[in-house]
Amino acid sequence: MELDPGDQQLALELDRAHVFHSWSAQGALKPMVIAGGAGSTVWDFEGNEYLDFSSQLVNTNIGHQHPAVVDAIKAQADLLTTVAPAHANLTRGKAAQRILEKAGSSFSKVFFTNGGADANENAIRMARLYTGRDKVLSQYRSYHGNTGAAVVATGDWRRVPNEYARGHAHFFGPFAYRSEFWSSSVEEECSRALHHLERIIQAEGPAGIAAILIETVPGTAGVLVPPPGYLSGVRALADKYGIVLIFDEVMAGFGRTGGWFAFQSLASQEGRLVEPDLITFAKGVNSGYVPAGGVIISPSIAEVFDDAVFPGGLTYSGHPLAMAAIVGTIDAMESEGIVANAERIGRELLAPGLAELAAKYEIIGEVRGLGVFWALDLVSDRSTHAPVPASVIGELKAALLARGLLPFFADNRLHVVPPCVVTDAEVQRALAIYDEAFASLGSTV
């Protein structure tokens, strides 16, 4: 398809005249115009190409314009474009079946939503109805979405101007690099974080707590891979006090960590598979080709609603085009070994490559991650871990874009989050670009 450079300016003019953007003061915005994409690359109307190491919002796990997913959407559009959720639909049933096959035999049903926020919203509702309790505990370092309960479950700054939902309390999860517990080792950080969580449970009143909601690997908060034993400890506390455990896998699921789900990726470090009662998902389940999310439900919770009405629903729950995209995505990821590719890329290329950058540049305080889910914690002082100022982030972002890489930044962190389909050559090119961009800041060791 031939691109018209004039469309770039028109797109920007129309956007600035008519589009209201999320999480932004509108006046100073000048968004990048993307004309198209394929695999791990996007381009603008002037033909400038960028490696997409943001995966947009860490969701295009299968890459841009994967033909199997596009074809699945087209075939469904020819057959049936929409259907009410009250009706049975073959594609919806196949999507649920595919998801449950990947989640494992401990789960029996899927409730489909429009995205990750309302997945968390409905998981919270299920937990409250199942337990007859009200309160939800979640971490300060977290993001769970922008709907009523989901944004209040969120721990970061976006919660504060949106606290209209009731029954929420927060706790600190483990993060040894910026410990809240004065720990001197990863093991100490884990044990103290679990002690802290139990004290929060006791102080908040366990008889009133419906759920503990945690991102299995907190994403926007910094790709905080939990230390060995933490998930097992949270599971044990949930069981001890009769609390529903919800794993938010919206960002971490469907290949991002090198497994179908992050809790599966972490099984080896835990010494066992630690399973929640509910799993929320979205993003990578179909790379956002058509908006979709959902809640994966264990039998004990699902069976409660065999006779009791579940008081929730969405007009587009299980929308056929979204379901076709899910089936196409999961089938392609399986047949093409895309999840295994993400694991190998992380282990063989990103882990050592990012470690080399950290050894070279003092600005990189810590590297953490797995699969294609990594973060560089950028600091102005390695001894104090003081975060770099926003001006440095702006300079680094400009340097990366100028060299043909689309980055993802959150606070003082550069997140390295390419699609799961990324190739060895693309990773090596990206590492070279990161190297050049950091060198341009003049922060070599």
Whether the predicted model's global pTM rises above the 0.85 cut: yes
Mean of all residue pLDDT scores within the chain: 96
Residues 320, 421, 46, 21, CA torsion sign: positive
The tokens for 322 are: 């979204």
Confidence (pLDDT) at 83: 98
Beta bridge partners, 211, equal 136, 244
Instruction: Let me know if 14 is exposed, middle or buried by CB neighbors in 10 A (0-12, 13-18, 19+).
Output: exposed
Helices (H) and strands (E) in the chain, counts: 16, 16
Beta bridge partners, 379, equal 387
Instruction: Let me know if 410 is exposed, middle or buried by CB neighbors in 10 A (0-12, 13-18, 19+).
Output: middle
Beta bridge partners, 42, equal 37, 50
* Interacting residues of 289 by C-beta distance below 8 A, sequence separation 6+: 69, 70, 73, 325, 329
Confidence (pLDDT) at 216: 98
**pLDDT digits (tens), the chain, 445 positions:** 678 889 999 999 999 999 999 999 999 899 999 999 999 999 999 999 999 999 999 999 999 999 999 999 999 999 999 999 999 999 999 999 999 999 999 999 999 999 999 999 999 999 999 999 999 999 999 999 999 999 999 998 899 988 899 899 999 999 999 999 999 999 999 999 999 999 999 999 999 999 999 999 999 999 999 999 999 999 999 999 999 999 999 999 999 999 999 999 999 999 999 999 999 999 999 999 999 999 999 999 999 999 999 999 999 999 999 999 999 999 999 999 999 999 999 999 999 999 999 999 999 999 999 999 999 999 999 999 999 999 999 999 999 999 999 999 999 999 999 999 999 999 999 999 999 999 999 844 4
Confidence (pLDDT) at 3: 85
Q: How far is CA 119 from the centre of its chain?
A: 13
The tokens for 160 are: 């504060």
Query: What's the pLDDT tens digit per position in 192-214?
Result: 999 999 999 999 999 999 999 99
| Alpha-carbon span 261 to 272, nearest angstrom | 14
Confidence (pLDDT) at 224: 98
